[in-house]
Amino acid sequence: MPDIISVTKLSKQFRDIKAVDELSFTVKEGDVYGFLGQNGAGKSTTIRMLLTLIEPTGGEIEVMGMNLRTHRKEILRNVGAVIEKPDLYKYLTAYENLSLFAKISGVKIPAAKIKEQLELVGLSERANSKVKTFSQGMKQRLGIAVALVHNPKLIILDEPVNGLDPQGIADIRNLILQLSKSMGKTVMVSSHLLNEIELIASRVLIIDKGKKIKEGTAAELFDPANTIIELSVANPKEVWEKLKQTGWKDSLYLTEGEMILMKLHKSNIPSLFKTLSEMGAEIYSLSPRHSLEDYFLSITTQNRHVETFAN
């Protein structure tokens, strides 16, 4: 698949703050590309540079094989975006908003097509309702419909599920998957909600403090040498202290409630089980835990060994 976005050593400096630090990544055609990082990691700054809303301090951006500096208008005609909360006219109806934004974009769109767009985002029954009566989730879906009005190849969504209830989050998730699978759109989604990205993304970029940490598919990111083991035992504080006196001390990761988390190669799990049995630990469960959230924490947490049991 060709690259839709190619970013090379992109940087942005705000006085003494380096918000983005020589960031490089590629988004392939057809990707649902998860752009992950904690709040303040540089995600929104990067997206604003991709959309020419702010000027980079350094680096290069190519979109659809064209340099963003020299082909800005041509590129943006093929890009749709929703940056955080969509800008909508709350005293107009959903239909009127789509019609107006189509005119602003210079697109001649028939009434049937507007109704089709509203149906796509699940708002056909509210086409004639004023936006001021919409929930935040409905506004987000209408914002995505606005971003699609000129039929762009690339959709960029910045924190699209912020502030939504579980149903609203599920609606946006399903819509993103539909855009990718049914309509063949390339979608770049920025978020700090890792469990949501894990459900939809074909490829993932993780950034921290403006720097690229990892990029790849979920399968590529999960390193068997850094498997998180979830250990449930009776007297976890006592077991933690005993493990600190063994060769497993460097594998102790952190505690989560009454659970001990350890990080080790999954091939060492039988040896760990043997050690626990020999020390007389009463084991309730011992299992590997794989998720994008666990992986993210393992590579961005500064203190790798965190003790939370009170002395």
Confidence of residue 298 (pLDDT cuts 50, 70, 90): low
Per-residue pLDDT tens digits for 280-291: 999 998 877 666
AA identity, residue 265: H
- Residue of higher predicted confidence among 72 and 218: 72
In this structure, are 276 and 163 located in the same domain? Answer: no
Q: Which of 221, 252, 278 is the last residue of a domain?
A: 221
Per-residue pLDDT tens digits for 27-47: 999 999 999 888 888 999 999
In this structure, are 48 and 131 located in the same domain? Answer: yes
| Total-model pTM | 0.77
The structural domain count of the chain equals 2
Q: Calculate the CA dihedral of residues 216, 219, 221, 227 and round it to 10 degrees.
A: 180
Q: Using the predicted structure, report yes or no on whether residue 306 has a pLDDT greater than 50.
A: no
In this structure, are 216 and 234 located in the same domain? Answer: no
Per-residue pLDDT tens digits for 151-173: 999 999 999 988 888 888 889 99
Confidence of residue 311 (pLDDT cuts 50, 70, 90): very low
Q: Which domain holds residue 235?
A: 224-300
Q: Using the predicted structure, report yes or no on whether residue 25 has a pLDDT greater than 90.
A: yes
